[in-house]
Amino acid sequence: MPYILQTNGLTKAIGGKNLVTNVSMHVKRGEIYGFLGPNGAGKTTVMKMLTNLWKPTEGSIELFGQKLTPTSYGVLKRMGSIIEFPTFYDHLSGKENLALHCEYMGYYNPGSIENALEMLNLTDAGKKPIRSYSLGMKQRLGIARAILSKPELLILDEPTNGLDPAGMKQIRDLLKMLCTEYGITIVVSSHILSEIESIADTIGVINHGVLMKEVTMKEISEMSLAYIELSVINTKKASYVLADKMGLDNFKIVEDGKIRIYDHHISTQELSKVLALNDVEIVAIGKKAETLEDYFLKMTAEV
Ligand SMILES: Nc1ncnc2c1ncn2[C@@H]1O[C@H](COP(=O)(O)OP(=O)(O)OP(=O)(O)O)[C@@H](O)[C@H]1O
């Protein structure tokens, strides 16, 4: 079985409007899959369908190699999730909330609640009522609840939303640990690249309800984001020389007078020489590098 989770042309429409369109995502067993997209892009909508909270208008979902249907209880028991913000009974303690959840899910395993609380660093806090919890503690308790039944797959919708940088780091470290030490596959959404960049093995980018790209971090690290930026007086003439005289095709005119060359076997010296020989006046030439942020921003700006 190649993927633990796969969707095929998933579409959700409400009131004649598509919230997500034709999403085909591929999550490998044992990886952290970062689901990246700006607010309103459709991350929650997809996650609601993955967890059977919403029925797809079109398309299908395969979980653990089985097609998800409205009665796939066995499949759903093998996953844990937080969709939108985790809610609890405020007057009950963390521990009591988890116990209620176990009862509700028909799941009983001695020690699982203590284990989950310990893993999330909530052993002491577990005895206290939820109303005394900070946002970060609630997020952690949400994760504790999601891992109670020792799921193989975790679906987490923006688990660091509203946390401060230290709280965000704590969650990132935790997800990494759950993945490496317990072999749990994790799909985690965020609208902030830096939050998932350091932990994800694969990033799926969604924008306006469309999955723009799935790219592994390995592919990203092998991809050179460097380019040469060339400023000239005569853009037309310069691009003619680049294409016809130098045989380059991997360049882009970003604005009049400014060209970016992504070809990596050409040096700035050689470029300057050939352009000068062909009477192209160079205003400036230099090497630059696109950041990963630029790379993804460009992708989401293209729609
Ligand atoms: N129940 C609903 N009925 C109609 N439209 C909805 C409903 N829920 C969400 N939407 C719309 O669907 C689009 C996608 O929303 P969704 O919540 O999936 O995005 P998101 O990527 O999770 O964003 P956020 O991070 O803001 O939650 C948005 O334009 C939203 O306004």
Gap from CA of 39 to ligand 1 centroid (Å)? 8
Average pLDDT, stretch 54-81? 93
For 303, which DSSP code?
-
How far is residue 37's CA from residue 17's CA, in Å, rounded to a whole number? Answer: 19
Residue of 12, 17, 19 with the most ligand 1 atoms within 8 Å of its CB, for mutation: 19
Q: Tokens for 71, please give them.
A: 């009665």
Q: Tokens 């459709």, residue?
A: 42
Residue of 11, 12, 43 with the most ligand 1 atoms within 8 Å of its CB, for mutation: 43
How far is residue 254's CA from residue 268's CA, in Å, rounded to a whole number? Answer: 18
pLDDT of residue 301: 72
pLDDT band at 121 (very low <50, low <70, confident <90, very high): confident
Residue 162 CB contacts under 8 Å (≥ 6 apart), including other chains: 135, 139
281 phi, psi to nearest 5 deg: -80, 125
pLDDT band at 10 (very low <50, low <70, confident <90, very high): very high
Q: Tokens for 151, please give them.
A: 């799921």
pLDDT band at 224 (very low <50, low <70, confident <90, very high): low
Gap from CA of 76 to ligand 1 centroid (Å)? 23
pLDDT of residue 2: 78
- Examine the pLDDT at 302 and tell me if it is beyond 60: no
Average pLDDT, stretch 99-105? 89
Atom 10 of ligand 1: nearest residue by CA position: 19
Alpha helices in 30-189 (DSSP H): 43-50, 73-77, 94-105, 112-119, 135-147, 165-182
Distance of CA 291 to the CA centre of its chain: 17
pLDDT band at 225 (very low <50, low <70, confident <90, very high): confident
Measure Cα distances from 274 to 208, 227, 232, 239, 240 in Å: 43, 18, 13, 12, 12
How far is residue 196's CA from residue 225's CA, in Å, rounded to a whole number? Answer: 19
- Examine the pLDDT at 300 and tell me if it is beyond 80: no
What is the residue-averaged pLDDT of the chain?
91
Residue % of the chain over a pLDDT of 70? 99
- Examine the pLDDT at 86 and tell me if it is beyond 90: no
Tell which atom from ligand 1 comes closest to the C-alpha of 84.
27
In the chain, the domains with their CATH numbers are 3-216 (3.40.50.300), 224-301 (3.30.70.100)
Single-letter residue type at 57: T
Q: Tokens for 181, please give them.
A: 């030490």
Q: What is the ipTM of this complex?
A: 0.92
Least confident of 166-170, 284-288, 295-299: 295-299
Q: For residue range 123-134, list pLDDT tens digits in order.
A: 999 999 999 999
Least confident of 17-21, 84-88, 152-156, 298-302: 298-302
Residues with CB under 6 A from ligand 1: 14, 19, 37, 39-45, 158, 191
Average pLDDT, stretch 101-114? 85
How far is residue 173's CA from residue 165's CA, in Å, rounded to a whole number? Answer: 12
Q: For residue range 158-207, list pLDDT tens digits in order.
A: 998 878 888 889 899 999 999 999 999 999 999 999 889 889 999 999 99
Average pLDDT, stretch 2-23? 95
Average pLDDT, stretch 12-26? 96
How far is residue 154's CA from residue 303's CA, in Å, rounded to a whole number? Answer: 30
Atom 16 of ligand 1: nearest residue by CA position: 42
pLDDT of residue 94: 96
User: Which run of H or E residues covers position 14?
Assistant: strand 3-14
